[in-house]
Structure 1
Amino acid sequence: MSTITDAAKPLRTAMVDRVKAVGHASTPAVEEAMRIVPRHEFVPEASIEDAYADIAVITKSASDGSPLSCASAPTIVAMMLDQLQVEPGNRILEIGAGTGYNAALLTQLTGPGGAVTTVDIDPEVTAGARRGLDETGNDHVNVITRDGSLGAAENAPYDRIIFTVGAWDLTPAFWEQLAPDGRLVVPLRWRGQTRSVAFVRDGDALVSDSMELCGFVPMIGQEGERSGAIDSEDLVTLYWDADQTIDATKLSGVLDQSKETIWSKVLVGPQDPFDSIWLRITGRDSRICRISADRAAVDAGLCTPAIPIRSPALAEDDSLAYLVFRKIEEGTFELGAIGHGPNGRHLAGQLCHEIEAWNHDRNARPTVRVYLAATARSAHSFDQAMTHQTIEKTASRLVVTVS
């Protein structure tokens, strides 16, 4: 046995133990697969320690340094496999081949009676995945170089479809290729935030049954998100969807106007997640978007979002409000909002109202239904008395419903 194999065993054991400690790899099948498949053999350029650390291993970068392909952090991998609920004998389609590691895990889960197909648009990525799969005895996995938005009709229908790239839209291929009772797990982006959503098929609808915060390399060719700087030095940027009426030019210089700060009296601890405030608002307010502030903007006090690179904001015409917090005492923080512009105080108040509503049931999650954009009945397939927002993509339509 090689020295590297000897070293890998305890590191792999420790990796899976960490994953389970945070609540993932929750089934014996996912746990066993992660204990069996040698992650280090799929990331040969990483150190053995990095291969089993809870980090994403970047395997290809763009000229500006932004990642183009990677092996996702083990906790994210396990989380999504839990959501996918693979059963022995399943036929599985993976969009985003990565290093081939996830396809190897899927092969373990579906067993000899199943089949795994993985698709990626980048021939360098598929070549690397093919190599890693062949070297680990997974030569039966079908690796295809193709635009992932097309899926792989030649091996359809699929019991399970999983995306390991971030998607802004879902194309007709996935309705055509997913079995009638199938599950689809995708890091889906809407209103500036990304969630790994597990969908179950219900006729012409995909209906969410779990959602987890995540971040992924975006899928190539989906350009539905807009962005624009709102200050003269390009330090603060808004991100919004194509169907929203937000105009960054109208907001240019808004941060130089006097600010209105409103505090919600809602308290959180340092380990208390509050990202679902943003998720909830996507079903209640069409003005929700993402604000991102560079460190220089934060240090100068120009813009101080709760999480500088990724916080929810409400934007309307020439006014803006965004989520903030302040320290009350050691280990306790109060959530609030800062508004700018003529309607800034009102928007800040609206954001605080949403914080208070979230505080009444912090575990509540909206339901997301996805339809093909041409499906007329989507507007009538849920209780109209419930609060909802319809989000128009290019090929699909999201209906986010808040109870």
Structure 2
Amino acid sequence: MSTISYSPEVLRAAMVDRIRRVGHASSPAVGEAMRTVPRHEFVPEASTEDAYADIAVITKSANDGAALSCASAPIIVAMMLDQLQVQPGDNILEIGAGTGYNAALLAQLTGPRGSVTTVDIDPDITASARRGLNATGNEQVHVVTRDGSLGASENAPYDRIIFTVGAWDLTPAFWEQLAPGGRLVVPLRWRGQTQSVAFVRDGETLVSDSMELCGFVPMIGQEGERSGAIDADGLVTLYWDADQTIDPTRLIGVLDQPKETVWSEVLVGPQDPFDGVWLRLTGRHDSRVCRISADPAAVTACLCTPAIPVRSPALAEDDSLAYLAFRKVEEGRFELGAIGYGPYGRHLAVQLCDEIEVWNQDRNARPTVRAYLAGTPRSAISIDGALNHAVIEKAASWLIVSVLRIRPPQASTSGPGC
């Protein structure tokens, strides 16, 4: 049987068409840039077909197999470029050089009157990016080998700043180097989940205007997340932030206790996103929100069955825990709920289901996130009195997560199940 081979141009056009069908590359300029820049030239270790498939291409790994650098899936690239809203002539800073592909797209978007600087801490990565950029006619892009948390003050101020690595914190450099009214797009991690947040600078405040769930290789040197197993075999792990007081040692063995299952009567389809539930939790129960991850063996044994085994939101309080779960109720339909353990397990499960109910009233609603430099006087922090809010204190920045206050209906309960 013969295999049909398509040219890079045909594969590239098909890639953009797929991305547009799911709602990204909504800007004509972004679509045109992705049709123009030859992605396969930046990932020579991948086949041409893989270069234009909707997959991330790992370009450097650690000895343990963990990804150190990759070319993000094209759909994520397009999503973040939509958020960035590049204008011709913009001066742009990219944190995380990767393969150089994203910098080439930025150069295409900003045009000959603009400027692009890309920064990475790893000299192997910047050398590779430089080669790819030169080979594709993008010699004008500035490639800098440096800790990305320092930015690149030599070419500041920037109209646009974009991170292509996951960040746990925002350092003062980004307040110093982002122009007034400028946009910052960053895969920002808090309370166990990562959202690509588009911030707009308003004075000394960064105010979000869009958020999209994503996942990225973490930025080196930002160790603000903690983790710990809660079962004897190390099959179930919690992840939380340094400013939280969650103690996994108090939860060891909690999964062996009787469980309380609460169902919300909220249904989702197999392709329906429900990360908005997690976002709401971070603005309403921030001190207790964390991520739970269950090994396949834990799921098979019914020890722990989160909605998404590798990453689901959970509420942890003292020696009690509840996590997001779902069950199939009909073909292609699943009901969201929560499973709780420990003395307060049922209470936490009901609270989680309350947030599911509220989220269901407006699934497209997103909290507002405001970012301030750590140490900003409280009098200078804007908190709308009509909103619930959480103050998340990181080492260099503070996040204020604000959500609408809506009274949810009563969650329902049901009997046990796996």
Q: Which residues of 2 match residues 216-295 of structure 1 at below 5 A?
A: 216-286=216-286, 287-295=288-296
1:396 correspondence with 2:371: no
- Cα deviation digits, residues 33-55 of structure 1 (max 9, x gap): 00000000000111011011010
1:34 correspondence with 2:34: yes
What residue number does 2:321 align with? 320
Superposition deviation, residue 271 in structure 1? 2.0
Amino acid across the alignment from 1:224? G
Amino acid across the alignment from 2:304? C
Does the CA contact (< 8 Å) of 1:371 and 1:378 recur in 2? no
- Superposed CA RMSD in Å reads 1.1
Q: Which residues of 2 match residues 3-402 of structure 1 at below 5 A?
A: 7-286=7-286, 287-377=288-378, 380-402=381-403
Does the CA contact (< 8 Å) of 1:121 and 1:147 recur in 2? yes
- Cα deviation digits, residues 98-155 of structure 1 (max 9, x gap): 0000000000000000000000000000000000000001011000000000000000
Does the CA contact (< 8 Å) of 2:383 and 2:389 recur in 1? no
Q: Between the two proteins, what is the percent identity of the paired residues?
A: 80
Give the Cα separation in 2 of the matches to 1:37 and 1:22.
21
Give the Cα separation in 1 of the matches to 2:175 and 2:392.
18
Give the Cα separation in 2 of the matches to 1:361 and 1:53.
33
Superposition deviation, residue 380 in structure 1? 3.9
Alignment length (residue pairs)? 399
Does the CA contact (< 8 Å) of 1:321 and 1:338 recur in 2? yes
Does the CA contact (< 8 Å) of 1:228 and 1:248 recur in 2? yes
SS at match of 2:359: helix
Give the Cα separation in 2 of the matches to 1:228 and 1:132.
40
SS at match of 2:170: coil
Amino acid across the alignment from 1:47? S
Give the Cα separation in 2 of the matches to 1:377 and 1:116.
36
Give the Cα separation in 2 of the matches to 1:272 and 1:72.
22
Give the Cα separation in 2 of the matches to 1:12 and 1:354.
41
Amino acid across the alignment from 1:191? R
Give the Cα separation in 2 of the matches to 1:350 and 1:382.
23
Amino acid across the alignment from 2:314? A
Does the CA contact (< 8 Å) of 2:98 and 2:126 recur in 1? yes
- Cα deviation digits, residues 309-346 of structure 1 (max 9, x gap): 00000000000000111111112211111101111111
Amino acid across the alignment from 2:132? G
Give the Cα separation in 2 of the matches to 1:39 and 1:333.
38
Give the Cα separation in 2 of the matches to 1:106 and 1:377.
37
Superposition deviation, residue 382 in structure 1? 2.4
Amino acid across the alignment from 1:357? V
SS at match of 1:12: helix
Does the CA contact (< 8 Å) of 1:11 and 1:52 recur in 2? yes
Distance 1:194 1:331, change over 3 A: same
Give the Cα separation in 1 of the matches to 2:332 and 2:136.
47
Give the Cα separation in 2 of the matches to 1:336 and 1:28.
40
Distance 1:174 1:378, change over 3 A: farther
Give the Cα separation in 1 of the matches to 2:137 and 2:185.
26
SS at match of 1:40: helix
Give the Cα separation in 1 of the matches to 2:398 and 2:46.
40
Give the Cα separation in 1 of the matches to 2:263 and 2:402.
27
Could you tell me the TM-score, scaled by structure 2's length?
0.94
SS at match of 1:217: coil
Amino acid across the alignment from 1:348? A
SS at match of 2:23: coil
Give the Cα separation in 2 of the matches to 1:252 and 1:200.
42
Give the Cα separation in 1 of the matches to 2:226 and 2:270.
32
- Cα deviation digits, residues 282-317 of structure 1 (max 9, x gap): 111121110000000000000000000000000000
Q: Which runs of 5+ in 2 are unaligned?
A: 405-418
Amino acid across the alignment from 2:225? E
- Cα deviation digits, residues 33-92 of structure 1 (max 9, x gap): 000000000001110110110100000001111100000000000000000000000000
Superposition deviation, residue 362 in structure 1? 1.1
SS at match of 1:277: helix
Superposition deviation, residue 186 in structure 1? 0.2
Does the CA contact (< 8 Å) of 2:257 and 2:342 recur in 1? yes
Superposition deviation, residue 267 in structure 1? 1.4
Amino acid across the alignment from 1:364? A
- Cα deviation digits, residues 159-207 of structure 1 (max 9, x gap): 0000000000000000000001100000000000000000000111100
Give the Cα separation in 2 of the matches to 1:19 and 1:96.
23
Give the Cα separation in 1 of the matches to 2:146 and 2:379.
30
SS at match of 2:249: coil
SS at match of 2:285: coil
Superposition deviation, residue 13 in structure 1? 0.8
Give the Cα separation in 2 of the matches to 1:362 and 1:113.
40
